[in-house]
Chains A and B, each alone.
Chain A
């Protein structure tokens, strides 16, 4: 029972990181209709920024906040000067542009900070607590709580503020939004910036446990994409729940299903996707898209 609880909480913590990245992907997808493969790469870059700030003597929490800010600006700039050229064109080309961006960012990180593993300090104390006989690290609990907090903040932003309303309007119909006087271009920049900021949080949360490398987010990105599909594009809460489900299930499957083990646990979310999508093509929580002819 102790192992079980431990696995579940560790799974939730891993799932939380997938969730942060998945939310970033949903944010961009809702605004521009494309999947940003560079989201993970941008998160890694943010983690490297935070690392550099720490090296310069900035306190950890401040360094992370600074890296979020820098990521926000960088995300907005990438939207304005790179992605905007491709947003109206062939979606396949836009996707490949984000792949190019991923290659570029990974290469830059490796070039500037080397491909070696770097130690990134943890935001939470490296201690364990006893819950119902299970030894659980404070980091796992902290990571999960941070993501829950961010989810609530995001929900408040989108439902409770004028900016959120404008962002949603652009997502639903950019042309109508432009006609009603919204600065669509600027809002798209904000959307990308927010996504990059979210990614930066994910980066800061995952870096301590995995050590900082340019390819640190590759697996997380795949899980995040799986969570996005499983939860349904149109439902942020669904995406977070799906990410948690993936984190927990893959942890349990790796330990309790002998054939799967640690090397094949990446198959778990996709088997799940396969089953779910055949039964509910719009995802677990998504709404069915109605296409008008």
Chain B
């Protein structure tokens, strides 16, 4: 394993893997069947939404239950713009900026509040958003929703629609993921981490918790807007149901299942968001809700750190098997080292993004008392 880690840490190996991923992204849409392409595109859409949630919640520690609202606003702006024949670049910019501005305004007030109060203010967004979308039927088409077809493949490409849409999603989502990765691994990421860890310490270091909370929330809204635009690219239809409270909660669950505070976890979260209902529907449609609940609980019971912590868990098991000490400094090392093989394209060993503390130790202690 150690040799494998060293192998993956070599620069040329990383570049080779990045290259491989890029080639796969270009080739796969051409050879996969249409249904797989559509599913992948939807995963991309919701991975971006989860990524936005991760910025505000996973990295900055502010519980947001309203992320889906920004996705919905982005989708509605896109639909409205397309139906009024605006330039598509302008539509994209507006679909990102308008949710961002709304997010900024809400954050300016909500970030004054601590802890759960932010959760309660953001819980209101989808709850008010749905009836409001029905009410403002001039812009939104009321309960009927509104559809916009603009993502058909152009003639010159010779592609099918689903391939073209997947390429758009891959390109935009890829850029957003890359930008976010750079953001959270840099100066801002460290500031977010300390705001999450301890606001008093943050203030004493000259980092205003208020300012960084507003920043994180605004970035999350912007990314939500991007996700909304992509949603329209893929689904081509939006209704008030898009931003319902249930979806917002599922988005939150997806983030934690994928892995809070992790770029790769966002991708896994998006996959969970799309695949879990498909899977449970395929098993037995009358048991969908039961199975989803069970899957959610089982994943968290086995992996409280989310799917992204699977390699770490595996590694620790292996160490215990060999009789090596697990946990403590060793497990922290393992944490940074073992993610690398699975996420060479994104993860740099970096202390600024704190991994969730391996919970087993405290639990063992707890069971004794």
Q: List 21 A-B contacts (CB under 8 A).
A: A82-B297, A84-B367, A88-B362, A89-B357, A90-B305, A90-B359, A93-B260, A96-B256, A99-B253, A100-B296, A107-B292, A108-B290, A228-B120, A229-B116, A233-B116, A263-B135, A264-B128, A267-B128, A274-B121, A278-B112, A293-B200
A135 sits at the interface (CB 8 A): no
Which single member of B109, B120, B300 contacts A96 (CB below 8 Å)?
B300
A101-B293, A111-B289, A270-B128 given. 7 additional CB < 8 A pairs?
A88-B363, A90-B260, A90-B357, A92-B63, A104-B292, A104-B293, A273-B124
Chain B hits for A144, CB < 8 A: none
Known contacts A225-B123, A278-B109; is A111 also within 8 Å of B304 by CB?
A: no
How far apart are the CA atoms of A177 and B128 in the complex, in Å?
Answer: 42
A178 sits at the interface (CB 8 A): yes
Interface size on B, residues (CB 8 A): 52
The answer to whether A35 and B127 have CB atoms under 8 Å apart is no
A118 sits at the interface (CB 8 A): no
Which single member of A103, A226, A267, A274 contacts B289 (CB below 8 Å)?
A103
The answer to whether A266 and B289 have CB atoms under 8 Å apart is no
Chain A hits for B292, CB < 8 A: 103-104, 107
The answer to whether A107 and B127 have CB atoms under 8 Å apart is no
Q: Which residues of chain A in 206-240 are interfacial with respect to chain B, using CB atoms and an 8 Å cutoff?
A: 218, 222, 225-226, 228-229, 233
Could you tell me the distance in whole angstroms from the C-beta of A280 to the nearest C-beta in chain B? 10
Chain B hits for A229, CB < 8 A: 116-117, 120
Interface size on A, residues (CB 8 A): 49
Which single member of B113, B200, B304 contacts A90 (CB below 8 Å)?
B304
Could you tell me the distance in whole angstroms from the C-beta of A239 to the nearest C-beta in chain B? 13
The answer to whether A100 and B369 have CB atoms under 8 Å apart is no
- Tell me if B's interface is mostly helix, strand, loop or mixed: helix
B102 sits at the interface (CB 8 A): no
How far apart are the CA atoms of A266 and B260 in the complex, in Å?
Answer: 30
Contact string against A for B residues 262-298, beta-carbon threshold 8 Å, 1 for contact and 0 otherwise: 0000000000000000000000001111111110110
Which single member of B109, B113, B131, B297 contacts A264 (CB below 8 Å)?
B131
How far apart are the CA atoms of A264 and B134 in the complex, in Å?
Answer: 10
- Please give the residue numbers on chain A whose beta carbons come within 8 Å of chain B beta carbons, in ascending order: 35, 37, 82, 84-90, 92-93, 95-97, 99-108, 110-111, 178, 184-185, 218, 222, 225-226, 228-229, 233, 263-264, 266-267, 270, 273-274, 277-278, 281, 291, 293
The answer to whether B253 and A184 have CB atoms under 8 Å apart is no
The answer to whether B300 and A97 have CB atoms under 8 Å apart is yes
How far apart are the CA atoms of A111 and B291 in the complex, in Å?
Answer: 11
Chain A hits for B362, CB < 8 A: 88-89
The answer to whether A35 and B253 have CB atoms under 8 Å apart is no
The answer to whether B198 and A111 have CB atoms under 8 Å apart is no
- Please give the residue numbers on chain B whose beta carbons come within 8 Å of chain A beta carbons, in ascending order: 57, 63, 109, 112-114, 116-117, 119-121, 123-124, 127-128, 131-132, 134-135, 198, 200-201, 245, 249, 252-253, 256-257, 260, 286-294, 296-297, 300-301, 304-305, 356-357, 359, 362-363, 366-367, 369
Chain B hits for A103, CB < 8 A: 289, 292-293, 296
The answer to whether A226 and B296 have CB atoms under 8 Å apart is no
The answer to whether A266 and B112 have CB atoms under 8 Å apart is no
The answer to whether A266 and B127 have CB atoms under 8 Å apart is yes
Chain A hits for B357, CB < 8 A: 89-90
The answer to whether B128 and A104 have CB atoms under 8 Å apart is no
Residue ID in chain B nearest A110 by CB atoms: B289
Known contacts A89-B359, A225-B120, A273-B120; is A97 also within 8 Å of B297 by CB?
A: yes
The answer to whether A293 and B198 have CB atoms under 8 Å apart is yes
The answer to whether A106 and B289 have CB atoms under 8 Å apart is yes
Known contacts A100-B300, A273-B121; is A89 also within 8 Å of B289 by CB?
A: no
Residue ID in chain B nearest A114 by CB atoms: B286
How far apart are the CA atoms of A212 and B305 in the complex, in Å?
Answer: 37
Could you tell me the distance in whole angstroms from the C-beta of B205 to the nearest C-beta in chain A? 12
The answer to whether A277 and B113 have CB atoms under 8 Å apart is yes
